[in-house]
Structure 1
């Protein structure tokens, strides 16, 4: 039995179904990200787990117990918000101790726990400061310490890094993951940032329109998307139109070039299907192991230092690919004829 089980969760606001038949089982100590565009229902799921919203239907179980009738303060869940939500009139130490004080923990135990938490987040000497005296990254560390101080069973993170600049975000997300692993706490992380979710999650749940489109490890979500939405939302994707030649054999043609996919095609002979390719699966020019070679025209060239980003046109479709910068080999000029190549095994057949 999973440690945290969400079964057929539904949430309706008036006539609007925000979350639809959402089910998810999370193991103890697992780090799971809910990833999706704004309005897809991911924060609503988080708020139902926290107890801030009551499900219209469905059940939430923690460690085998149904918590549907429990209020937020009875569930022993830590919450870290997008806005830091620190008390401006309290010191850092008092902010971290707030949940412990509400629980009636003794002063000596509170002080010891606060010291432990400040050490954990790397701010052992800042307990006497007020939030306005801290940087944004430091404030988020304090918010994390406050959420962890009461030793919650589950930690919920609602886009906690979105207000920080890019460099601090990368540093802090890695720190959050290290602390989560050290404590072994079951965690749900809500984000719309694909790189964030891919880099720190054990599993990702991609949400769209209130439903879970796909759940899996980052490698699986990226390389084996099960729906057209997941394929397009996670990472950069190139689309190529193909014509079915032999459905059972998985044979199609793209720009007059035949290729065999590693699967049967659920479409009739002569039907049009869409193949997807990640940029890293495409080479400029002919490359070893990439047997499909297509003529192309260079549309755009962007020099990014170590990488050159190229957009090429193939029979009306535009594909993006990256090549490493080589001082002895200048990038192709815009408008020039070229070839692209890829391995047939890397082509993803998108569902209709």
Structure 2
């Protein structure tokens, strides 16, 4: 188990509280400069924290807290971390097997034993036949496999991955995803992944922490995060397209600039007559040719085809609001959708998620930052 609680103001504000169990893959997502890599480097001891606590496998790596007189900070060499960098960071003058041997230099094993361990890891990565090749003789995917073998060679207690797949082509990335999934079963250690790719986080992670300006805004499993973001800033950062504003009062949700009112149940956390943001997942949308008592009239404004999937943008009648709906090509054909088609859109109010309205520069958005959505 890895436990990280950082609360510092300088040199960069970092307010993070997360746990990652053995065998779990926990993704950190957020915009560029949000502090994702800083968190990884602080855990690894490559960057000094000023306040907080880092504990791994019941061993304290760092502690400096106002309420405790105990202070401790292990060096990077003393922390059992495997760190996989975005740009591989292989030594160009060493071949593949020699690169993997680097973290084993102080293991007490002789040269033959170190090479034997390194070769086993290269074999596990499926590239043992490339052991004698220099880094410039390897493809990007092969270099990343060597770097991953090196990160795991000394059997670390935690694996830190800093956007390891961003510079690799799509087929190679898919292959590395499978390698990582297979490794998780055998390693049984906490894995922290920094990524800017939300699809990647959704595919690989058990839980995701959204970071903005060094602050952990929400930690949740992917399904909860994408359907029930904690506030409007989280919804924006995870790319939820159908986010709107309104007023919530006694179970009734109005829709700004639209006459439609929804009946929505919340957990009693929203004060009466509150301005709110709200989202609805794709599963809460349906499109029909004929009207119903709960439908709103909508006009097809744009159709974007993506293979067998199309993204339809509707404008809502008598409103400035637009809403996006994903449909199969068969559904588009059945409904005979084309530009300016007049359709009827139903929004399932039971799937509407309401949340506090937090402006980007509103510091109140940090309140309750690590809890799941309301």
Query: Same fold by TM (over 0.5)?
Result: yes
Match runs of 1:132-281 below 5 Å: 132-244=136-248, 247-248=249-250, 250-254=251-255, 255-263=258-266, 264=268, 266-269=270-273, 273-281=276-284
* Matched residues, number: 341
Q: 1:44 and 1:241, CA in 2 relative to 1: closer, same or farther beyond 3 A?
A: closer
How far apart are the structure 2 equivalents of 1:206 and 1:10?
18
How far apart are the structure 1 equivalents of 2:44 and 2:293?
52
* Deviation (angstroms), 1:267: 4.6
Equivalent residue for 1:313, pick from 306, 315, 337: 315
**In 1, are the aligned partners of 2:195 and 2:201 still within 8 Å (CA)?**
yes
**In 1, are the aligned partners of 2:231 and 2:277 still within 8 Å (CA)?**
no
Task: Give the 3-state SS of the residue equivalent to 1:256 in structure 2.
Answer: strand
Q: 1:226 and 1:286, CA in 2 relative to 1: closer, same or farther beyond 3 A?
A: farther
How far apart are the structure 1 equivalents of 2:134 and 2:294?
61
Task: Give the 3-state SS of the residue equivalent to 1:175 in structure 2.
Answer: helix
Task: Give the 3-state SS of the residue equivalent to 1:125 in structure 2.
Answer: helix
**Number of the residue aligned with 1:39:** 33
Task: Give the 3-state SS of the residue equivalent to 1:329 in structure 2.
Answer: helix
How far apart are the structure 1 equivalents of 2:142 and 2:97?
13
How far apart are the structure 1 equivalents of 2:205 and 2:190?
12
Q: 1:265 and 1:185, CA in 2 relative to 1: closer, same or farther beyond 3 A?
A: closer
How far apart are the structure 2 equivalents of 1:92 and 1:61?
32
Structure 1 consecutive aligned stretches of length 4 or more whose deviation exceeds 4 Å = none
Q: 1:11 and 1:184, CA in 2 relative to 1: closer, same or farther beyond 3 A?
A: farther
Q: Unpaired runs of 5+ in structure 1?
A: none
How far apart are the structure 2 equivalents of 1:12 and 1:299?
48
**In 2, are the aligned partners of 1:307 and 1:324 still within 8 Å (CA)?**
yes
Equivalent residue for 1:130, pick from 115, 128, 134: 134
Equivalent residue for 1:297, pick from 296, 299, 303: 299
* Deviation (angstroms), 1:148: 0.2
Q: 1:55 and 1:279, CA in 2 relative to 1: closer, same or farther beyond 3 A?
A: same
Q: 1:274 and 1:186, CA in 2 relative to 1: closer, same or farther beyond 3 A?
A: closer
Q: Unpaired runs of 5+ in structure 2?
A: 63-72, 358-374
**Number of the residue aligned with 2:50:** 56
- TM value normalised by structure 2: 0.84
Deviations 1:55-86 (A, max 9, x none): 01112122222223211111121110011111
* Greater RCO, 1 or 2 (C-alpha within 8 Å, sep 6+): 2
